[in-house]
Amino acid sequence: MAHDPTNIDRATWAADALRTFREATLTDAEDALGDLLCDLMHWADVVGENFAETLLGAQNTYAAEIAEEKSRVAL
């Protein structure tokens, strides 16, 4: 059976990505998330992705994952 990732797993993956970004760019912790998001917008422009649309989809997925976790805890 495949591992069903938790939101803690997802947060850990994000922390790893931010750590890699900080090491590559020498960005401080305070600015890292905003700088990474900004650079991802530039990347989306270069490759023809719609960042705003993708962000909206990500926000919907986030809300669903939070709701799913809350429902598991309530059981």
Q: What pLDDT, on the 0 to 100 scale, is given for residue 72?
A: 81
Distance CA 12, CA 16 (A): 6
Distance CA 19, CA 32 (A): 9
pTM > 0.75: yes or no: yes
Distance CA 32, CA 22 (A): 6
Distance CA 54, CA 20 (A): 22
29-67 pLDDT, tens digit each: 999 999 999 999 999 999 999 999 999 999 999 999 999
* Higher pLDDT among residues 69 and 56, named by residue: 56
Per-residue tokens: 48: 């023809």
7-37 pLDDT, tens digit each: 999 999 999 999 999 999 999 999 999 999 9
Report yes or no: 54 and 68 within 8 Å, Cβ to Cβ. no
